[in-house]
Amino acid sequence: MNDFSYLASGNYYFDSACQTLRPQSVIDAELKYYREYNACGGRVKYPWGERVDNEVNETRELLLNMLGLSAKKYAVAFTLNATTGINLVLQQVNDKDFTQIVTSDIEHNSVFLPSMTYARKTGLRRVVLSRDENGALVYKKEDLHKAIVILNTTSNIDGRNLINVKELAEDIHAQGGVLFLDACQTMGHNPELIKGVDFDALFASGHKMYAPSVGFVVIRKELLKKLDYFLLGGGTVGDVEKESFQLVEDPDTLYSRIEIGLQDYAAIIGLKEALSWRADFRTDDAKSADEYEQDLAKNLWQELKNIPELKLLYDQPSPVVSFYTDKIDSHTLGLYVAQQNIMCRTGYFCCHYYLKHLKAYPPLFRVSLGLHNTPEQIDFFVQSLKKILFNV
């Protein structure tokens, strides 16, 4: 593809669940910032800075539009990455209105660990619920009573989606709780899943969306007003006296309360371009990003499920596929395919509790697809995998 023409031939990258490759236009957008208007935004009157502000605000608008949300109710703040955003918000939630924190068994450590530390700090009960084979949270309404609920919407293990997320949001709010969503895998693969969902905060990372490594938080403004702030500095305040300060109060810039320090403007501008690029993506036969990726996922799934030695974790096509085999250790398999310039991930994918302790799986092998991949690349990977399994 022309968008990835800078890639040397003979390289096969299948690790997009960790980070996607960047299309050329995203790289160009970052370089353009550095070369043409490399300035700080915020409280600035000169042209370069005003241009930065415009680009950043347009990125906020694109994200809200992508999620079907109103700027009157929600703000978009940029962070180092999603993990930073999760901790930045969760650890500053005042626990007085809640009795428990609820998460699920298939969470990435970026969710699982902060839920632990928050429970330890506040003394709230911590509950770990299960997800069914299709990704839905298994719960009773009373499980959600006055709960801070924090969950992924798409698993980085096998691509299962939180298919009951809209119903869940309604039930959580009816029980006096709040819903936090880790949407890292969803935003790059299936954003329609969470469009219009009535969440309280959503976290994601640009590096899983064909953008530079920048995080963002989409957060209800009412929640922003209630956080118990202890991480402060720079633009988070409107005024400071010797022994006191006033937080930013302007409803249009409430996001500043959690944008601590200088922002990575080049990355945010790259994110803007990535959002536009994915929305406009079309193959030669006019397939959208979602359609093309679904075709790739079906192709990969059909091939892998017909290899008898493989034990697949999920029985549906997905851009993220994990498996293991009794014939060879996954780490060794990863080394063998790497000799063919095939790049896949092995291990427990930061989901130690679920994979290693609850399910007692051996280290796994994960293949994750991106829009740079082609059917020919999948075929090369599958044929290489079959040869290795035949010879071990």
Provide mean pLDDT across the span 167-177.
98
Residues in the chain: 392
Q: What angle do CA 116, 234, 264 make, to 5 degrees?
A: 75
Does 247 score more than 80 pLDDT?
yes
Provide mean pLDDT across the span 136-157.
97
Could you tell me the pTM of the whole model?
0.97
Report domain 24-279's class: alpha beta
Q: pLDDT, tens digit, for every residue of 333-356?
A: 999 999 999 999 999 999 999 999
With bands split at pLDDT 50, 70 and 90, how would you rate the model's confidence at 2?
confident
Does 248 score more than 80 pLDDT?
yes
Give start and end residues of each alpha helix (H) in the chain. Answer: 24-36, 47-67, 82-90, 109-122, 165-174, 184-189, 221-226, 265-280, 289-305, 330-338, 352, 375-391
Q: Quote the CA–CA distance of 347 and 144 in Å, as a whole number.
A: 32
Q: In 3-state terms, what secondary structure has residue 150? A: strand
Q: 275, 61 in Cβ contact below 8 A? A: no
Burial 262-288 (b: 16+ CB within 10 A, else e): ebbbbbbbbbbbbbbbbeebeeeeeee
Residue of 184, 180, 102 whose CA lies nearest to 147: 102
Report domain 12-23+284-391's class: alpha beta
Q: What is the mean pLDDT of the chain?
A: 97
Provide mean pLDDT across the span 214-230.
97
- For residue 363, give the DSSP letter: P
Q: Quote the CA–CA distance of 290 and 364 in Å, as a whole number.
A: 26
Burial of 142 per CB tally in 10 Å (0-12, 13-18, 19+): exposed
pLDDT at position 1: 65
pLDDT at position 234: 84
Domains of the chain, by residue range, sit at 12-23+284-391, 24-279
Q: pLDDT, tens digit, for every residue of 273-316?
A: 999 999 999 999 999 999 999 999 999 999 999 999 999 999 99
With bands split at pLDDT 50, 70 and 90, how would you rate the model's confidence at 252?
very high
With bands split at pLDDT 50, 70 and 90, how would you rate the model's confidence at 43?
confident
Alpha-carbon torsion, ordered 258, 167, 104, 370, to 10 deg: -70
Give the pairing type, strands 320-325 and 364-368.
antiparallel
Provide mean pLDDT across the span 98-120.
98
Residue of 360, 350, 353 whose CA lies nearest to 313: 360
SS (H, E, C) 152-221: ECECCCCCCECCCHHHHHHHHHHCCCEEEEECHHHHHHCHHHHCCCCCCEEEEEHHHCCCCCCEEEEEEH
Burial 203-231 (b: 16+ CB within 10 A, else e): bbbbbbbbbbebbbbbbbbebbeebeeee
Residue of 19, 314, 56 whose CA lies nearest to 188: 19
With bands split at pLDDT 50, 70 and 90, how would you rate the model's confidence at 10?
very high
